[in-house]
Structure 1
Amino acid sequence: MFEAVVTLCLAAALETCRPVLLPGYEAAGRDACVAALAARPPDGGGAAGGLVAQGEPTCRPAGPALALSEAAPGLWVHRGVLAEPDRANGADVANLAVIVGTRSVAVIDTGGARAVGEALWRAVRAQTDLPVSHVILTHMHPDHLFGAAPFVEAGAQVVAHEALARALADRQANYLESFARLIGPDALIGTAAPAVDVAVAETATIDLGDRELDLRAWPPAHTGNDLTAFDRASGTLIAGDLVFDRHVPALDGSLRGWQAVLGEMRQMPAARVVPGHGGPVLPWPQGGADTARYLDVLAGDTRAAIAEGARLGAAVDGIARSERDRWELFEAFNARNATVAFTELEWE
């Protein structure tokens, strides 16, 4: 299989470059790929703001694809690395899902950089030639959505919680700056925050052709813009970061809200869940038990510290320490969780 790429460089540092996939030109042979480029030249050769193209688009053998495991017929899952984004993992740290109907495909979350999204695109193309009609984003965090660009360029609609666009607009500059430091500016070339085409206020249904996905926008929980997708055909709930496995939960919304949302989610008629990290597939509702326990401990310890009159700085190190050996990345996230919890619960 051959694909079209263009080498893009940072305009401010022309030695910092990356070959960027141009989706939609895949072909069994080089000649067919070249013919597709000639028949439909890419607009601007793939260059965007702050980037310059080094040469013309060319065709080459297809690059690496993300590994997918089949969780149910027509539903594939990619398991991200249990780590913070860095140069070694290239921000491939979140779980991603691909659901195939008879008419089109939906991808749910796209990874933390365009390069991850490109590898996901190749993985989808290895499974089906059907168009990717929808990119469903479970929440605003960059490790879940910065890989959307190849799918958007290929014509997919971006679907998200109605609050995501505003939240992302407020944070995207900081997210991009942070990820450039974490994974390197070269690895981030071509990465951009996606615009939302379909904003979900409460619920929505997407029909991929004999396969319907039920979307639900939740009140503030893990973040202020969490969205889940339920695949009716397989009974699978794609939960995003409302459910964590092994990776310690990260609180960026409302602790009480997250506890309440998990309680409601337990009543959903799902057989299995795809968490945002870990897994990648767990039985439901059992698969949410560890997340619920951690949140309960976080809330209980925080309330106890507040009742004792502890100040935030002194309380943070002790809150939820009993959970330390149950999770990976505990030291990276727990103090931040305790700070958010304390700030919320001290005004109860």
Structure 2
Amino acid sequence: MFEAFVAICMLASGDAQGGAAPQQNCRTALLPGYASKDPSECEAAVVANPPPWLTRTNAEAPFCDLRPRPHLAFVEAGPGLFIHRGAIAEPDSENAGDVSNIAFIIGERSIAVIDSGGSRQVGEQVYLAIRAVSDRPISHLILTHMHPDHVFGAEPLREAGAEIVGQQNLPRALADRAGSYETSFGRLIGSHSFLGSRIIAPDRTVAAFESIDLGSRVLALQAWPTAHTATDLTVVDQSTGVLIAGDLLFQEHAPALDGSLKGWRAVLDDLSQISAHRVVPGHGGPILAWPQGREPLGRYLGVLEADTRAALEAGLTLSGATAVIGAGEAGHWQLFDLYNPRNATVAFTELEWE
């Protein structure tokens, strides 16, 4: 099978002291949606109807070549349920933003993807991983929340035919943060790996509950009150009894609180009532027993609240409190020193004004 590609470029600054001229920094990007057994048909299709974003990008003429093998590894956790474990790491040029878990589910009629990774490059690899096992249409991309490591790979999956679905607060949250996310992630990942990545809005939203039928395979979507973020959405694959929790569940990777501590604790309790026997967390795993898999996060959030209340009772300032809140959890989580101070700040600010 042949796929369409294009070299997208940006000017890299030269050596001002040595007088070196600026040079182009380019990456060959995959353009889903033009696959064909005939390379001439592929090339004619992409030339006749290129993706609109190409007209706004410093790109060369598209071309077609044989479909490459994917670099992302997915495991089949149940019949037709494939899961990729993202790195337990900060986004950087080596991982290109591949630091969160991604899933896809194959029904008799079509395929749904849950989360898309932290760059267009990762989204392209998700597409290739799907095509390595199935040629069924990719009908849906479900985004579990707003954070950049879950959403920057969305555009190539939309180009492949997916309708993007998110929680009702997601469009506004992404619109408000698109510029800062693109700046911060571009800096972390580096311009080469991040080329072609941008935030795009979901096509429709879920306010409470919704079902998606992929053909004899129903996915149950549920929107949640503010918890990890104000945009959290979960998916239950009813065929396998697997809950895909997004970042409402962390394992190994230190949790990140960007919403409400009390809300997250309440939602975690409610999640425990969902009829599922396994769960895919947003980080770690990639698949755990449920509800047992919630225990480390539940413990951490409980410690965060207890320590914050003790700091407030002791009259500590915010700077003094962040040094002690959650400290006893340090040995249980990777990246703890990076995320716990942020969590302590959010918890202190929330509980201070009860």
Give the Cα separation in 2 of the matches to 1:22 and 1:46: 12
- The amino acid that maps onto 1:313 is S
Please state if 1:24 is matched with 2:33: yes
Name the amino acid aligned to 1:25. Answer: Y
Which position in structure 1 is the counterpart of 2:63?
A: 57
C-alpha change, 1:290 and 1:276, in structure 2 (3 Å) is: same
| Amino acid corresponding to residue 275 of structure 2 in structure 1 | P
Alignment of 1:168-207 (within 5 A): 168-207=174-213
Structure 1 counterpart SS, 2:297: helix
Measured in 2, the distance between the counterparts of 1:315 and 1:209 equals 52
Moved more, 305-314 or 49-58: 49-58
The answer to whether the 8 A contact 1:82-1:277 is kept is yes
Residue range with higher mean Cα deviation, 299-308 or 182-191: 182-191
| 1:73 and 2:79 are equivalent in the alignment | yes
Q: Cα deviation per residue 1:293-345 (whole Å; 9 max; x = unaligned)?
A: 00000000000000111110111011100000000000110000000000000
**Aligned residue identity for 1:7:** A
Structure 1 residues 182 and 39: CA distance shift in structure 2, 3 A: closer
- Unpaired runs of 5+ in structure 1? none
- CA drift of 1:153 comes to 1.1
Q: For residue 139 of structure 2, give the secondary structure of its aligned residue in structure 1.
A: strand
- Unpaired runs of 5+ residues, structure 2, are 14-22
Specify the alignment match of 2:4 in structure 1: 4
8 Å contact 2:168–2:231 — kept in the other structure? Answer: yes
Whether the aligned pair in 2 keeps the contact of 1:82 and 1:93 (CA below 8 Å) is yes
Q: 1:54 to 1:274 in 2, by over 3 A?
A: same
Distance 2:119 2:46 in 1: 26
Residues 124 and 321 (structure 1), Cα distance of their counterparts in 2 relative to 1, 3 Å cut: same
CA distance in 1, matches of 2:56, 2:47: 21
Partner of 1:282: 288
Show CA shifts across 1:99-129 (max 9, x none): 0100000000000000000000000011111
Counterpart of 2:235 in structure 1 is: 229
| 1:263 alignment partner, one of 265, 269, 273 | 269
The correspondence of residues 1-348 of structure 1 with structure 2, limited to 5 A, is 1-10=1-10, 15-27=24-36, 32-39=38-45, 41=47, 43-44=49-50, 47-48=53-54, 50-348=56-354
Return the letter of the residue paired with 1:268. Answer: I
Q: How many pairs does the alignment contain?
A: 345
CA shift, 1:193, in A, is 1.0
- 3-state SS of paired residue (2:194): coil
Structure 1 contact 8–52 (Cα < 8 Å) conserved: yes
Q: What SS does structure 2 have at the residue aligned with 1:128?
A: coil
Distance 1:278 1:15 in 2: 37
Distance of 2:131 and 2:335 partners within structure 1: 33
The one-letter amino acid of 1:162's match is Q
What is the deviation of 1:246?
0.3
Residue 16 of structure 1 and its aligned partner are, at CA, apart by 1.6
More off after superposition, 61-70 vs 189-198: 61-70
Give the match's secondary structure for 2:193: coil
Contact 1:5–1:60 (Cα < 8 Å) also in 2: no
**Given that residues 45 and 57 in structure 1 are in contact (C-alpha distance below 8 angstroms), is that contact kept between their aligned partners in structure 2?**
no
Structure 1 CA distance for aligned equivalents of residues 265 and 281 of structure 2: 16
| Counterparts in 2 of 1:20 and 1:63: CA distance versus 1, 3 Å | farther
Cα-Cα RMSD: 1.6
What is the TM-score with the length of structure 2 in the denominator? 0.94
CA contact (8 A) 2:46 2:62 kept: no
Task: Name the CA distance, whole Å, in 2 between partners of 1:235 and 1:44.
Answer: 40
Percent identity between the aligned chains? 52
Q: How far off is 1:53 after superposition? A: 1.4
What is the alpha-carbon distance in structure 1 between the residues aligned to residue 43 and residue 156 of structure 2?
A: 16
Distance 1:142 1:222, change over 3 A: same
